[in-house]
Structure 1
Amino acid sequence: MTVSPVLARELAAARPRFNALVTAARRARTGFDLDALSDAVRVRIDPLAVAIEAAAPDRVATVIDAAFALTVDLVGRGLAGARRTLIDRVWAELAPALAKAVAQRPEPVLAMLTNAALTIDAMPGTHAEAWIAQMATLGPLVDADMLRPAGQVVAWRSGMAHYRAQALAAADQLPEPLALAAIGANGAWSEIRAALAADRWWTPDGGDARPIRFGGFVGFGGPFEQPPQIKAGAEGFIVRSGAHVRLLIADAWGATLHPASDEEYAEAAPATAAQGIASGLAAEGLVAARTSDSVALASPYSHYVEVRPWRP
């Protein structure tokens, strides 16, 4: 395993302690993958070590201690495939860009970044890679105290539509330059915030909101086992597909699906035949459910729902 001089130095200095961590992990978890650990040290910890050496050289040993312990734990969980690749990106690309925040509180910051990326990735319709890329641009502006609220704002922009109210409240906690950077806007935060709060389909780029196409058949990795039936609820759209009833929340940046009850479906406003609405769904049997600001379209011939702005 070839690593940078700074990481080689720290691994040598802490070898007894790190060996003890690995020994304990191998005893606790049968089949602990030493090759995966070696790869993770090279791919994840080495870029971080170089970044910390440049940003806060007096914190290198503390950061590497925390990073190694977390890496042993993550390897012990046996995460593989796309999830392992995602963690690699968080540590190799995002954590070095946020070196200042990592140096301040290594263990909680690295854990937060990892868990946030996995949480976003696990939600259908969201974009964990976009979250990583957008968070990395905030490096010069964010410290450990600001990281969580900034992450919520960027998670909303990355498709976590149900974070809308939380993200606006989180942005209010940030210095204005960071709030604007996290939301991807220029101008006065008070004006940007007012526009975002007033219209879930407004974005700072000023473009027309595009319809959100959400769903897919479970056999191909989607959330719906049958073509969804839709109704309009108080917080979004209540969707029934087979035996499952769920709440679909959408805005200009994405859509997310959440558990709902049969009672909520029964009480929701029914869909009606879609009249004069062009969509990417089959026209035959197309129905529309409307809330105060959005319309959802569904077809008996599709496992997708299309959501777009609607003005009464």
Structure 2
Amino acid sequence: MISAVFTSLLASGRAQFNLRALDARRRFPALDMAQFSAFLHDGLDPLAVAVAAAAPERAGSFTVAAYDMALELVAHGLAGPAAKNPFLNTVWRELAPCFAPLLASAPVPVLGMLSNAAIHVSGVAGARPAQWRDEMATIAPQLASVAELRAVGQILAWRAGIAHFRLGAIAAADSLPPHLALAAFGEPCADWPQLRTQLLENPWRGNGQGREFGAFTGLGGDFATPPQLRATHDGFIVFSGERHYLLVADAHGAVLHGATPDEYVQASMQLPASVRLDGATVQIGARSMALDLPPGEIALAANEHTLAITSSCTHAVRLLPLA
């Protein structure tokens, strides 16, 4: 049932809300008002209650701004019970109320940022949206501005599996007070300049085991044929099933982007001197690892930080830290 607070806010501006809904239906003929009504109850009601508690004098202006945004999100199929991805509904209902003071002062930037982040994080294969939501909720009381919210959101998106955000996340942390940057990286007792150097030098910091990525498309994976890899500074160019990809991986996740045949041709096939394959055993410096793959069917590719292991017998890529 809709809250008394939200009922009162809607009633006090009934005429303007009706006009806004009418205008939205003209601009978006496919807008389903039943879906919109459901999203008002599920998504906007908890927000209005939270903002009214934090800054009652701004609850009315916030509700107007959020109502307009809700209309557009539902019209584009991004919010409501029939949303393409329900995570945005979850963010409005569960996470956004944690930012009530910021929403009261800057409703459009804050709600827009949270909505865009929800769409992006949940749209990246292999990312962990629930982790991002939970960590954002935990750090919310420490954030005092939209700029801090944006920077921390990017850091936590990287830590939730969006590997190509790594350098951007580190740069974003430079704009934060050191204690907040450390909190965002989950290391409140560290020294920020030292941690920053370590993160820049070692993408696998905190993960010495590496990870496995990829599977056969017939089983819901990414690769139609066993992938072939060549190294670049940023990751690996992958060739599989007549398609090319850029694979970026680090301690927190692995992400696949599109690439071109030219990028594959130009990528490196050179291995570091510290890496050697002996039958089904990989030597990385003084380390030795026996692989559960047939000898003679194994291929290696490596850049400065990562060794990638592939085989004609599997659709998976094994990624190991070189450090």
Could you tell me the TM-score, scaled by structure 1's length? 0.91
Letter in 1 for 2:192: W
Q: State how far apart, in whole Å, the 2-side matches of 1:225 and 1:50 are.
A: 49
Q: State how far apart, in whole Å, the 1-side matches of 2:199 and 2:320 are.
A: 16
Query: Aligned residue for 1:200?
Result: 203
Query: Aligned residue for 1:113?
Result: 114
Residues 217 and 13 from structure 1, CA distance in 2 versus in 1: closer, same or farther, beyond 3 angstroms?
farther
**Preserved CA contact (<8 Å) 1:232 1:289:** yes
Letter in 1 for 2:215: G
**Preserved CA contact (<8 Å) 1:297 1:307:** yes
1:282 shift after superposition: 4.2
Tell me the secondary structure at the aligned position of residue 141 of structure 2.
coil
Query: Aligned residue for 1:100?
Result: 101
Query: Aligned residue for 2:179?
Result: 177
1:54-69 to 2 correspondence within 5 Å? Answer: 54-69=53-68
Letter in 1 for 2:109: P
Query: Aligned residue for 1:86?
Result: 87
Q: Deviations over 1:66-105 (max 9, x none)?
A: 1111111111112366744201111011111122222221
1:258 shift after superposition: 1.9
1:14 shift after superposition: 1.4
Aligned length: 306
Query: Aligned residue for 1:303?
Result: 315
Letter in 1 for 2:41: R
Residues 296 and 53 from structure 1, CA distance in 2 versus in 1: closer, same or farther, beyond 3 angstroms?
same
Q: Deviations over 1:130-163 (max 9, x none)?
A: 1111111111111222111111111111111111
Tell me the secondary structure at the aligned position of residue 138 of structure 1.
helix
Residues 59 and 249 from structure 1, CA distance in 2 versus in 1: closer, same or farther, beyond 3 angstroms?
same
Residues 281 and 134 from structure 1, CA distance in 2 versus in 1: closer, same or farther, beyond 3 angstroms?
farther
Residues 67 and 124 from structure 1, CA distance in 2 versus in 1: closer, same or farther, beyond 3 angstroms?
same
Tell me the secondary structure at the aligned position of residue 36 of structure 2.
helix
1:222 shift after superposition: 2.9
**Preserved CA contact (<8 Å) 1:227 1:299:** yes
User: Which one of 154, 164, 167 corresponds to residue 165 of structure 1?
Assistant: 167
Query: Aligned residue for 1:229?
Result: 228
Letter in 2 for 1:14: G
- Structure index of larger Rg: 2
Residues 251 and 84 from structure 1, CA distance in 2 versus in 1: closer, same or farther, beyond 3 angstroms?
closer
Could you tell me the TM-score, scaled by structure 2's length? 0.88
User: Which one of 145, 148, 154 corresponds to residue 146 of structure 1?
Assistant: 148
1:37 shift after superposition: 0.9
1:53 shift after superposition: 1.7
Tell me the secondary structure at the aligned position of residue 140 of structure 1.
helix
Letter in 2 for 1:54: A
Unpaired runs of 5+ residues, structure 1, are none
**Preserved CA contact (<8 Å) 1:125 1:214:** no
1:171 shift after superposition: 0.3
Q: State how far apart, in whole Å, the 2-side matches of 1:103 and 1:290 are.
A: 49
Residues 4 and 227 from structure 1, CA distance in 2 versus in 1: closer, same or farther, beyond 3 angstroms?
same
**Preserved CA contact (<8 Å) 1:153 1:170:** yes
Query: Aligned residue for 1:191?
Result: 194
Residues 4 and 209 from structure 1, CA distance in 2 versus in 1: closer, same or farther, beyond 3 angstroms?
farther
Query: Aligned residue for 2:126?
Result: 125
Query: Aligned residue for 1:291?
Result: 303
Unpaired runs of 5+ residues, structure 2, are 272-276, 283-288
